[in-house]
Structure 1
Amino acid sequence: MSVASLGMYDHPAQRWANEALWAAIASHLRAAGIDAPDALDRRPVEAVWRDPDLLLAQACGLPLVADPELDLTVVAVPSYAVAGCTPGRHLSRIIVHADDEAANLADLRGMVAAINAPLSNTGANLLRAAFGGIPFSDVKITGSHRASLAAVADGAADVAAIDAVTFAAIARYEPEAVARVRVLAHTVSVPALPFVTARHTPPATRAALRKALAAAAHDPALAEARDALFLADIVSASGQRYGEVARIARETALA
């Protein structure tokens, strides 16, 4: 049985929206004669990316180019209605505690950073790029952007880079959490998290995935779900654009 996941932007308050989006995508795929699962797979995304039965998922750009064990093909790229996120691209917000007096990034050298994962593009790669390396006294691995934000809010870390789309979701659904931090700076923008499939997925299925994603991105019945996900559009794409992520990783010694 094939596997599908929309786990990259899946805040608890957004799960209904991802389920609605997937139901529409799956319906389009079945109409094209493709067997699509009824439910989303909510295992950790790292496990889903490695599943040989992967039909569709959203992936982080850094593992896509830096993890040799991943065997994925990019089929599309989303755009998000979030400040600073231009079509097909996104960035991170560099945050500190609301009471932190830092005026710029230089003031944070020697402090403690929180990252969601070492191979996170928005949480680690772009943070290192913003600082030109590793100027921190310690780096705490939190496991998620929400946990990194909480670490800064609780004083367990001094700085973190939070994916702008995730930050927007937390600001909307957990405003009390965002009130305890402030945005000090922004990272450079990079290609947004791609929609991917297993590399061995047949070309006809890849084409059907692209059509189904595009249809869901413009279906009037999904307007409320797309708003909950900040999703503005989905267009066909290839993996070539993620060479930009690989370049940043090389420059910051992450790859």
Structure 2
Amino acid sequence: MSRWTATLPMYNVTPQHGRLWRALLRDALEAFARAGGPGDFVILEEAPDELMPLWRRPDLLLSQTCGFPYRMLGLQEAVHLVATPVFDAEGCEGAHYRSAIAVSAAAWARGATTLAACRGLRAACNGKDSHSGMNALRHAAAPLARDGRFFSSLIWTGSHLNSLLALSAEAADIAAIDCVTLAFLRDACPEKLRDVKIIGMTALAPGLPFIASRALGDRLGALLFDALESARQADAGRARSLRLHGFARLASSDYAPIEQMAQFAAELGYGELR
């Protein structure tokens, strides 16, 4: 490759988080170049709206994807799995995480204090290809669904933050929110959670993987993992702000629980979140 591309699009919850992730990325890629990796790269300030083409680029040096497109939409066949971050956030266990089941304060006041009590309420979801917002919630609601339905309506919001805003505005009653995103919001802007109540957590699943083009190869992939860890250790304050405890080496097979959760819901006749 003449020039490589890199961006970390998944956890830029606030502008400050975005700056910290870009700084970590630059430090990691510079350390990678010093260790023998490609030194000619560009870091995108903003990721494109359509992420799948980005993740499939042959010149992708480093990015982060969701476990659902990685396992369920064929991405694992096209990319090199570099690392999975380990976060210090409520709901995380090692390189695995959960989603928080959140309801609006108004719904909670009307008795929506458990998932079972949310039958017939209005759901909000960040996207159809999201594990944390869609697949995890579908898995949790599947045993409670009747005739393939649990909610009265569903809106697609485009992001976890927009889902939370929909709850606060009472445009929706319930959503599943990535626990790392929730932790970042509690740190940076807790006022956005003032009108939201957490009533439960979804099942544990492997975290959002850092990926690269398969063209990178195993040797350089291992060096890139080391460079990420070096960049994390280089700035302890930044790591604390990102709640980044370290990185883990997971195998593609470790992402099987995401597919198993989808299959579980389908077997119960709840193959579609609704």
TM-score band w.r.t. shorter chain = over 0.9
**Match for residue 14 of structure 1?**
17
Secondary structure of the residue aligned to 1:23 is helix
Deviation track 1:63-121 (CA, whole Å, cap 9, x = no partner) reads: 11111366122121111110121111111111111232312111111111111001100
Provide the alpha-carbon RMSD of the alignment: 1.7
**Match for residue 46 of structure 2?**
42
TM-score (normalised: structure 2): 0.87
**Does residue 32 in structure 1 map to residue 35 in structure 2?**
yes
Structure 2 matches for 1:59-208, cutoff 5 A? 59-68=65-74, 71-100=78-107, 101=109, 102-132=112-142, 134-208=149-223
Query: What code does the residue aligned with 2:134 have?
Result: A
Q: 1:195 to 1:182 in 2, by over 3 A?
A: same
Percentage of pairs with the same residue: 33
**Match for residue 56 of structure 1?**
62
Larger displacement relative to structure 2 (27-36 or 59-68): 27-36
Query: What code does the residue aligned with 2:213 have?
Result: A
Larger displacement relative to structure 2 (119-128 or 12-21): 12-21
CA contact (8 A) 2:115 2:141 kept: yes
Deviation track 1:39-67 (CA, whole Å, cap 9, x = no partner) reads: 34522333421222111111100111111
CA contact (8 A) 1:217 1:234 kept: no
Query: What code does the residue aligned with 1:200 have?
Result: A
Query: What is the Cα deviation at residue 7 of structure 1?
Result: 1.1
**Match for residue 231 of structure 1?**
244
TM-score (normalised: structure 1): 0.93
CA contact (8 A) 1:91 1:189 kept: yes
CA contact (8 A) 2:233 2:239 kept: no
Query: What is the Cα deviation at residue 218 of structure 1?
Result: 2.5
Counting matched residue pairs gives 253
Moved over 6 A (4+): none
Q: Distance in 2 between matches of 1:125 and 1:106?
A: 17
Query: What is the Cα deviation at residue 168 of structure 1?
Result: 1.0
CA contact (8 A) 2:127 2:159 kept: yes
Secondary structure of the residue aligned to 1:10 is coil
Deviation track 1:182-225 (CA, whole Å, cap 9, x = no partner) reads: 10111111111111112232222211111112222323xx1111
**Does residue 250 in structure 1 map to residue 263 in structure 2?**
yes
Structure 2 portions without partners, runs of 5+: none
Secondary structure of the residue aligned to 1:20 is helix
**Match for residue 241 of structure 1?**
254
